[in-house]
């Protein structure tokens, strides 16, 4: 995850299992998650399955690409697989 983001959710996310039929990930030591809502959107949020006050989203079945800030989050996040 890259970008100039607030809150800072940049870094390498580790797989933690599946959620709504797709892999989900967690940012080690920071408590942020990357997950699929089961319909059409990927989320980066502070809780698995809930967007909260600040989050990023991508309406696309592909996890890689640009995520738009929502709520009180700032900056656009870019997700790439390593």
Q: For position 81, what pLDDT does the model report?
A: 85
Domain that holds residue 55: 13-79
Q: For position 5, what pLDDT does the model report?
A: 93
Q: For position 30, what pLDDT does the model report?
A: 76
Domain tally for the chain? Answer: 1
Whether residue 6 is contained in a domain is answered as no
pLDDT string in tens for the chain (82-residue length): 667 899 999 999 999 999 999 999 999 877 899 999 999 999 999 999 999 899 999 999 999 999 999 999 999 999 998 7
Q: For position 82, what pLDDT does the model report?
A: 72
Whether residue 50 is contained in a domain is answered as yes
Whether residue 24 is contained in a domain is answered as yes
CA 27 to each of CA 39, 40, 48: distance values in angstroms, whole numbers, following the listed order: 23, 22, 12
Whether residue 5 is contained in a domain is answered as no
Q: Which residues pair with 32 in a beta bridge?
A: 27
């Amino acid at each position: 995850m890259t970008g100039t983001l607030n809150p800072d959710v940049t870094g390498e996310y580790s797989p933690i299992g599946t959620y709504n039929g797709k892999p989900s990930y967690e940012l080690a030591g920071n408590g942020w998650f990357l997950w699929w809502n089961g319909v059409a959107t990927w989320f980066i949020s502070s809780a698995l399955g809930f967007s909260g006050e600040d989050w990023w989203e991508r309406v696309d079945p592909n996890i890689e690409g640009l995520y738009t800030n929502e709520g009180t989050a700032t900056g656009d996040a870019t997700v790439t697989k390593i």
